[in-house]
């Protein structure tokens, strides 16, 4: 897509806007790097932890390309990568990809899922009619990453990166364990089995997770893209 020290190299010589977008984010791993940075800035090793299938050299290439494309910024002093406004604007794209994937066969939820990926997927899998106006506040912690999730008046999850979330309940575990608690048998069953940690209001946890399903969701083209609050100035190590 780009080469170090050079301007953007076009991959698709087309006037199609979709092709133009892919000139910036169409290489393998590019959108997944954006996914891992969606809620907060991170350093290189934390990015790799959320992308276990990528090699260090490929990740370096993708970060370089995304920086040159204006999608990611890099603080040379702190060694921190963060999304630009253009990068954060890709959240609806990732959400709609998740929504589209719900309709496609072969999805295996047992494969690795990062906590950042899970926080994006909940926007695609929420039952908005039931979630609309819910006062529930959820907390999720996985390793060094924490998130606080509230629900808007329209039933859209509002995700904020927060190392120690303040919520009605807090669940802690790997991305896969938390996904199982949300989409599987529920948080209390997994907590009883020792697969996730659960503190706070257990009934609130059960009620919150019941709002999400891996069944296809109906898209609403009128929804607002302002569904995330990135922890600007913060970073994960």
In tens, the pLDDT along 43-97 reads 999 999 999 999 999 999 999 999 999 999 999 999 999 999 999 999 999 999 9
The rounded percent of the chain whose pLDDT value lies above 70 is 87
Residue 67 CA neighbour count, 13 Å, CB half? 17
pLDDT of the residue at 5: 40
Structure tokens given for 80: 């921190």
pTM: 0.87
Confidence of residue 13 (pLDDT cuts 50, 70, 90): confident
Distance separating alpha carbons of residues 233 and 152, to the nearest angstrom? 25
DSSP 100: H
- State phi, psi for 81 to the nearest 5 degrees: -105, 140
Tell me the Cα Rg of the chain: 18
Confidence of residue 215 (pLDDT cuts 50, 70, 90): confident
Mean pLDDT value across the chain: 89
Degrees, nearest 5: CA angle 25-29-30: 25
Indicate if the alpha-carbon torsion angle 153, 199, 217, 24 is positive or negative: positive
- State phi, psi for 200 to the nearest 5 degrees: 100, -150
8 A C-beta contact, residue 30 and residue 60: no
């Amino acid at each position: 897509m780009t080469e170090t020290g050079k301007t953007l190299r076009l991959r698709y010589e087309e006037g199609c806007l979709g092709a133009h977008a892919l000139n910036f984010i169409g290489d393998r791993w590019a959108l997944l790097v954006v996914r891992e940075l969606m809620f907060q800035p991170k350093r290189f090793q934390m990015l790799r932890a959320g992308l276990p299938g990528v090699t260090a050299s490929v990740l370096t290439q993708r970060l370089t390309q995304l920086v040159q494309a204006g999608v990611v910024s890099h603080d040379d002093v702190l060694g921190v990568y963060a999304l630009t406004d253009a990068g954060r604007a890709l959240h609806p794209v990732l959400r709609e990809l998740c929504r589209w994937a719900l309709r496609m066969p072969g999805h295996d939820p047992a494969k690795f899922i990062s906590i950042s990926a899970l926080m994006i997927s909940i926007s695609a899998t929420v039952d908005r009619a039931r979630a609309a106006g819910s006062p529930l506040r959820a907390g999720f912690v996985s390793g060094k990453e924490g998130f606080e999730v509230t629900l808007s008046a329209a039933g859209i999850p509002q995700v904020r990166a927060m190392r120690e979330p303040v919520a009605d309940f807090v669940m802690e575990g790997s991305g896969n364990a938390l996904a199982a608690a949300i989409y599987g048998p529920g948080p209390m069953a997994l907590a009883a089995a020792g697969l996730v940690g659960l503190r706070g209001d257990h009934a609130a946890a059960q009620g919150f997770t019941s709002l999400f399903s891996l069944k296809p969701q109906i898209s609403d083209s009128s929804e607002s893209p302002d569904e995330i609050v990135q922890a600007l100035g913060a970073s994960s190590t």
